[in-house]
């Protein structure tokens, strides 16, 4: 199907882009989700604001205690940079196929806020902070407040997610991501997936963040799991017991790829795997 008619602008600067944004506009980065949804007429923007020609948004920068991933950094670069914590890098490496990873952007995957996307879970577990810019200034939004509902983020219509900040992994910290992809493989949207970040000191878990995707109405933190992990030694038994709390506060959604019962089961399986792998990655 063809999309409805729309205007297209390709600004050369952020200021020009802000000037083109309005109530019926959509930002386009890689177009890997926007274009299919426009063709299905699920999105019918009046204006597409293509940010692909704006300079300075395509780098991963080291800021000492954190890195920042610019709005035009592709999944493939996030996956391979070596500077990105494992949970997010792995999520990027498992996003779609080679073509999608070479076109789609990490910030686009976050802004798109698909219920079954990979990188939102990685960003949540890594404690990411979204940097949203508009003509009126800059807002920093913690990942835990960014994913609002299915395909709905905390971004306003006039804002561009110009970068995402990720704390650098410190001593005693490890992270991981794993999922079951829809067609049985791993490079496809998640039937269910989980990302985990853990910090261990003196033999016990001092802090943890665990996030789910594909299971509920949005990618979200599983705070109960993190709470149950803290203070334990991170043994298999402790991790498995903590994973029993994976669905606290989660409304499990049945879809074409799994019943509520199956997804609930998978959530615990992938939380267990992600936490064990994060501990192994310290």
Q: If we measure between CA atoms, which residue out of 217, 243, 16 comes closest to residue 116? A: 217
Taking the complex as a whole, how short is the minimal distance between the CB of residue 186 and ligand FAD, in angstroms?
A: 8
Is 193 among the residues that bind ligand FAD (CB under 6 A)?
no
- Angle, helices 236-243 vs 260-280, to 10°: value is 150
Residue 68 binds ligand FAD (CB under 6 A): no
**Is residue 160 close enough to count as binding ligand FAD by CB under 6 A?**
yes
Size of the site for ligand FAD (CB under 6 A): 29
- Judged by CB under 6 A, the residue of 26, 218, 268, 276 near ligand FAD is 26
28, 67, 115, 239: which one contacts ligand FAD (CB under 6 A)?
Answer: 28
Does residue 200 bind ligand FAD (CB under 6 A)?
no
Work out how close the CB of 74 gets to ligand FAD at its nearest, in angstroms, rounded to a whole number: 8
Q: Which is nearer to ligand FAD, 96 or 224 (CB)?
A: 96
Closer by beta carbon to ligand FAD, 35 or else 282: 35
Using CB under 6 A as the binding rule, whether residue 111 contacts ligand FAD is answered as yes
End-to-end CA distance of the chain: 48
- Residues 127-156 within binding reach of ligand FAD (CB under 6 A): 155
| Distant-in-sequence, close-in-space partners of 216: CB < 8 Å, separation ≥ 6 | 115, 250, 251, 252, 253
Question: Which residues of this protein are in contact with ligand FAD, per CB under 6 A?
Answer: 26-34, 36, 71, 95-96, 100, 104-105, 107-109, 111-112, 117-118, 155, 160-161, 187-189
């Amino acid at each position: 199907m063809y999309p409805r008619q729309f205007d297209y602008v390709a600004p050369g600067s952020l200021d020009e882009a802000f000037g083109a944004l309005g109530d019926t506009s959509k930002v386009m980065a890689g177009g890997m989700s926007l274009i299919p949804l426009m063709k299905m007429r699920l999105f019918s923007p009046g204006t597409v604001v293509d940010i692909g020609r704006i300079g300075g948004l395509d780098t991963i920068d080291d800021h000492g205690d954190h890195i920042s991933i610019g709005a035009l950094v592709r999944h493939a670069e996030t996956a391979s940079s070596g500077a990105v914590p494992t949970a997010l890098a792995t999520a990027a490496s498992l996003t779609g196929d080679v073509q999608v990873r070479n076109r789609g952007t990490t910030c686009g995957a976050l802004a798109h806020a698909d219920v079954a996307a990979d990188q939102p879970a990685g960003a949540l577990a890594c404690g990411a902070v979204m940097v949203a810019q508009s003509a009126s200034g800059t807002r920093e939004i913690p990942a835990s407040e960014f994913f609002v509902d299915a395909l709905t983020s905390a971004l306003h219509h006039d804002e561009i997610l110009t970068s995402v900040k990720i704390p650098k992994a410190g001593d005693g910290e490890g992270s991981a991501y794993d999922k079951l992809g829809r067609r049985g493989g791993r490079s496809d949207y998640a039937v269910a997936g989980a990302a985990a970040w853990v910090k261990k000191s003196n033999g016990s878990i001092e802090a943890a963040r665990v996030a789910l995707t594909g299971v509920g109405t949005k990618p979200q933190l599983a705070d109960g799991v993190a709470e149950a992990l803290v203070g334990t030694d991170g043994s298999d038994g402790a991790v498995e017991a903590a994973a029993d709390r994976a669905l606290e506060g989660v409304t499990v959604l049945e879809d074409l790829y799994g019943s509520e019962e199956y997804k609930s089961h998978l959530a615990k399986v992938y939380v267990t795997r992600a936490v064990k792998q994060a501990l192994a990655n310290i």
